[in-house]
Amino acid sequence: MSKSIDLISEIEDKINTVRTRSLDLSFNELLDMYKDGELIIDPEYQRLFRWSEVQQSRFIESLLLEMPIPPIFVIEQEEGKYELIDGLQRVSSYIHFRGEHPDYQEEEEDSEKPRFLKLDGCDICESLNGLIYKTLPTTLQIRLKRNFIRVEVLRKESDPRLRYHMFKRLNTGGSKLSDQEVRNCTIRLLSPKFNDFLIECSKFPQFENCISSLNDDKREQKYDQELVLRFFALKNMREQYVHDVGSYLTECMEYFSISPDNFNYEKEKNIFETTFDILNKTLGKKSFSPATATKKNLSSRFAIYHYEAITLCIALNLDGLNKLTETNISNLKAILTDIKKDQGFIDITTGGGKNYASPLKKRVEFAEERIREFCNGL
């Protein structure tokens, strides 16, 4: 009985930390708020606007037909402004149709990103196709502007961590966003500093060259930033890793973001840049490429298990690698290449069942031991 009372009390305490209100706002009011800076869409979040022109057009068609649409969610900032945390595709479609979206400012209608969305793919009222806002009949322009949407507001008095969890849950229900894209947006509600740090590190030229074999889709999904996060997570919190990489990386990013005492930015940046400077001088674009089937050469593809082992074996031995000369660099390149061609390393970096703590430990230790031996001989 006491456990039930304690649970009820805990739930009620959490409820008391949430302050919400509901508003019905017209889309024209939302647009005015956006233009006046009173409705904020974080640039990192705004980049996730991916609806095609057909999807945008059908949403506008739904508004004109007065079809029911889901609410949007915002958080209230200290000065009373609202920050959008759910409803990006809907709000951005309306803003684009009205010619106010910052990513669509080309005046020519046939350009790649025209300022005004031209309706296309409307399948209920096909006569709308080919129209832009300015060519809609005045009656429909007014109807569109006066169309209301429910806005759920998480008040500024609410616990900031509950704001974070609210965004996280609202934006992980679908599969359209990558894990790192969701992290980038949600973590900013705790603190933007660590997220900005990841973005900065991902643009370090030596790092970019070492991961240049990543395809465009991976980069679009911010996988390069996830690799930076993975580096710091495994270097600093490897003992916490069990199996679910996504949850583990999210927890690490939360930990690094919660308090400045949890992450030494200057020290970690120096370690990151030194590590990738060494890798760029040795294996360069082949830093994370596995050996070919014949073991004569390294392939051109990116392998995540190689990324984990090779980056850590360098980062954990920087004290010994600070004496590198041009000759030593050539020798280090040979050692790293030999590691990749070693059958023992191949066995713990290929096949299924390697995404656990034990195989991770084995591949890191395998590479680290050989680099440590190399350092001892310098």
- Classify the C-alpha dihedral 246-247-250-251 as positive or negative: negative
The structure's pTM equals 0.67
Q: How far apart are CA 294 and CA 298, in angstroms?
A: 10
pLDDT tens sequence across 221-241: 889 999 999 999 999 999 999
Q: How far apart are CA 373 and CA 367, in angstroms?
A: 10
Question: Of 20-24, 43-47, 114-118, 368-372, which gets the smallest average pLDDT?
Answer: 43-47
Contact 152, 17 (CB under 8 A): no
Opening angle at CA 138, ends 135 and 144, nearest 5 = 90
CA 193 vs CA 106, 265, 372: distances in Å = 33, 10, 34
By DSSP bridging, strand 72-76 and strand 82-86 are antiparallel
Contact 26, 147 (CB under 8 A): yes
Looking at residue 174, its pLDDT comes to 47
Contact partners, residue 298, CB within 8 Å, separation at least 6:
283, 286, 289, 290, 291, 292, 337, 340
Residue 80 has pLDDT above 60, yes or no: yes
pLDDT band at residue 276 using 50, 70 and 90 as cut-offs: very high
Q: Which residue has the tokens 């060494």?
A: 278
Contact 241, 248 (CB under 8 A): yes
Q: Which of 146, 274, 154 is nearest to 204 (CA)?
A: 274
pLDDT band at residue 325 using 50, 70 and 90 as cut-offs: confident
Q: What would the two tokens of residue 248 be?
A: 């583990």
Residue 157 has pLDDT above 80, yes or no: no
pLDDT tens sequence across 166-197: 766 766 554 456 778 778 777 776 778 998 99
Residue 102 has pLDDT above 70, yes or no: yes
Average pLDDT, the chain: 87
